[in-house]
Structure 1
Amino acid sequence: MSSNAVAEWSQRERVEHLRQRIAAIPGRPYEGREGGAEECVDVLPVPAPLKSVLPSGGVVKGTVCSVAGSSYIVLGIIAEVTQSGGYVAIVGLPNLGLAAAVDMGANLRRVAVIPDPGSDPVDVAAVLLDGMDLVVLSLHDTQVQPSRARAVTARVRNKKSVLLVVGGSWPVVHMRIEGNVRAHEGLERGHGRIRGMSLSVRASSRSGRQRSATVKLSCQGARAQPDGVVRGGGRNGAAVQWGLHPATQLQQVSG
């Protein structure tokens, strides 16, 4: 079916088509369970640098979270989830740069991309929760009303999926994650490849608890050490890994 034909569908036709496609997806096989002694919850896996920042060591299933700043946060989570056998849908982000996710090990056969969700991307994302472990939703500049957000959040909880919101405004989220690239290594004027970077990451929970760390990444084995202490959690930074590929280009990691 051509993209032009899909573009002419009404919102109702788009949603019905998605329902049919989701019905054909096999049962979600991934059941990750991570966490410390204090708390044991089901989570979706995240890149190693984020484990020290997120209280549960991953993104808690059945929750709505938001991500701001560098797209590397989203791409890294997509890579980890699909590597672990999970399914991911990306709604309203046609220029996300999935080549960088592949460099991190993402399995694109487990990724569904809906670049143009039509007039109601929230409705499309809600439908996709039926068959996906992770739904990444771009709100652009949209502000979701509290009543609508509560209904979708309840659906996320019921399906034990994760809704990752990018841009816009979602009234209440379980966790807010922000990542910003501080510096790149390996780039010269007008050309070059990224050999490494410094990335600051901060996570804020609904309860107000915050953790943050600065991670230095290198393509040589992709091993790195956080530059400081994981604040708010009382834990010192430990060695972390990130799947940064030597051939990753600048436009694929800019936030």
Structure 2
Amino acid sequence: MNQTSVLQSDVAGRVAALRAQIAQVEGASPADSAPPAPEVDVVELPGTLGRLLPGGGLARRQVTELSDCPALAADLVAKISAAGGYVAVVGWVELSLAHVAEEGDLSKVVAVPDPGARPWDITCVLLEGMDLVIHHGAANTLSPTKARPVMAKLRGGNAALVTVGPHLPGTAVKVSGEVTTYRGIGRGTGRIKGIDIAVGVRTKSGQPQQGTLTLGTTRRLELA
């Protein structure tokens, strides 16, 4: 046996000894130790939407599909940025961030209204450093070939990906939103002070969940 073989054997022995010591400290032997069950890792959301979503928020490293409801998307951005999370919005020119300015933190929001001819390339870059990335685009289904690099970036990062329009294979959760009530508008006067959004959540394995999300002023009972 030459000197190189002796050194390699010695290093391998030390690594095995360290692994055995770590297993003993954790209360398990090297032979029967098993990895702990993975916990649900989410970008937490307060209120109604958090109660409807599995784990209380948007799952990191997974895709959530959202219907084209700008008010609901803006509320997601506001709530997550207000809690200190970093959010990116790609390809949504019409999305107003006025609600985010009032309820969230615009300094933690990156907006790319026109991502150019290859919008998914921009999204892939943003997945590496954000907590939430919202990708808005045409309603179509990405082929497995086009979806593969996106999913690889998503799983290698820490962000939750929300798609509005495009569908990615393997999407775990679908969220629908529809504004049902506007408050604050009188007979030709006033401004919108509050809205209600009917929200539905569907998962592959769970029962559909439904609820109402209220933004702004709440409904008040008034005496005639």
> Which residue, out of 111, 117, 120, partners 2:109?
111
Distance between the aligned counterparts of 2:213 and 2:177, measured in 1? 10
Task: State the partner residue of 1:44.
Answer: 43
Q: Write out per-residue CA displacement over residues 37-94 of structure 1, whole angstroms, 9 at most, x where no aligned residue.
A: xx94221122411022112111111111111042122111111221122211111112
How do 1:75-224 and structure 2 match up within 5 A? Answer: 75-103=74-102, 105-207=103-205, 209-216=207-214, 219=217
Counterpart of 2:146 in 1: which secondary structure? helix
Contact 2:183 2:217 in 1 (8 A): no
User: How far apart are 1:218 and its partner, in Å?
Assistant: 5.5
Contact 2:80 2:86 in 1 (8 A): yes
More strand as a share of residues? 1
Distance between the aligned counterparts of 2:159 and 2:170, measured in 1? 17
Q: Write out per-residue CA displacement over residues 85-133 of structure 1, whole angstroms, 9 at most, x where no aligned residue.
A: 2211111112210001222x21111111111111111111011111111
Task: State the partner residue of 1:244.
Answer: none
Q: How many residues align?
A: 183
**Residues 68, 47 of structure 1: alpha-carbon distance in 2 compared, 3 angstrom cutoff:** farther
User: How far apart are 1:153 and its partner, in Å?
Assistant: 1.8
Distance between the aligned counterparts of 2:196 and 2:80, measured in 1? 23
Q: Write out per-residue CA displacement over residues 172-194 of structure 1, whole angstroms, 9 at most, x where no aligned residue.
A: 31211111111212213443222
Contact 1:47 1:77 in 2 (8 A): no
Distance between the aligned counterparts of 2:68 and 2:88, measured in 1? 20
User: How far apart are 1:140 and its partner, in Å?
Assistant: 2.1
Stretch moving more, 183-192 or 157-166: 183-192
Contact 1:66 1:164 in 2 (8 A): yes
User: How far apart are 1:215 and its partner, in Å?
Assistant: 4.0
The residue identity in structure 2 corresponding to 1:166 is V
Distance between the aligned counterparts of 2:216 and 2:117, measured in 1? 41
The residue identity in structure 1 corresponding to 2:147 is A
The residue identity in structure 2 corresponding to 1:122 is W
How do 1:2-81 and structure 2 match up within 5 A? Answer: 40-81=39-80
Distance between the aligned counterparts of 1:218 and 1:106, measured in 2? 13
TM-score (ref. length: structure 1): 0.65
**Residues 198, 82 of structure 1: alpha-carbon distance in 2 compared, 3 angstrom cutoff:** closer
The percentage of aligned residue pairs carrying the same residue is: 34
Contact 1:46 1:76 in 2 (8 A): no
Q: Which of the two has higher C-alpha Rg?
A: 2
